[in-house]
Amino acid sequence: MILLDTQILIWLVLGSARLGRQARADLDSALAESGIWVSAITFWEIAMLEQKKRIRMGMDLPTWRQELLNSGLNEHRLDGATGILATQLSGLNSDPADRMIAATALQTGAILMTADADLLNWNASLTRQDARI
């Protein structure tokens, strides 16, 4: 099971060349097995980035989200246990989205695919994959 960090979902959807060859192959394989996931907070983070005009998705976000879910992307809903765990992640930056995504990956045992240096370098027992490779 692969859990995508927010920027990786954006890279995937936009067909970005930043996404590495191995990451693409792993995502293709996971998609065939219904194994690509995002945390629900990823959609919140994308909506916030668009609202701040830092990204432009080019379509209505609720429609975009539903199309992604219809195409095989899975959404992991947040719950109280995830919220509590997110506050207990010693040594991780204070970004709430990073914390919720990391907590989701830890709870589910997913591989977190990211290019975020804070998440990649965080000293924790979280399985990660650098999406640039």
Q: Note the pLDDT tens digit of each residue in 93-125.
A: 999 999 999 999 999 999 999 999 999 999 999
Indicate the number of domains in the chain: 1
Q: What is the pLDDT of residues 40-88, one digit of tens each?
A: 999 999 999 999 999 988 889 999 999 999 999 999 999 999 999 999 9
Q: What is the pLDDT of residues 77-97, one digit of tens each?
A: 999 999 999 999 999 999 999
What sign for the dihedral angle of Cα 27, 29, 31, 36? negative
Q: What is the pLDDT of residues 18-38, one digit of tens each?
A: 999 999 999 999 988 878 999
DSSP, collapsed to helix, strand or coil, labels residue 11 as: helix
Whether residue 3 is predicted with pLDDT greater than 80 in this model: the reply is yes
Q: What is the pLDDT of residue 29?
A: 93
Domain that holds residue 117: 2-130
DSSP one-letter code for 16: -
By 3-state DSSP, what share of the chain in percent is helix, strand and coil, each rounded to 5?
50, 15, 35
pTM: 0.94
Q: Structure tokens of 28?
A: 């293709």
Q: Structure tokens of 49?
A: 């980035």
Q: DSSP string covering 50-83, please? A: HHTTS---SS-HHHHHHHHHHTT-EEEPP-HHHH
Task: Calculate the CA 45 to chain-centre distance.
Answer: 10
Q: What is the pLDDT of residue 35?
A: 81
CATH of the domain at 45: 3.40.50.1010
Q: Structure tokens of 103?
A: 């907590």
Q: DSSP string covering 21-45, please? A: HHHHHHHHHHHHTT-EEEEHHHHHH
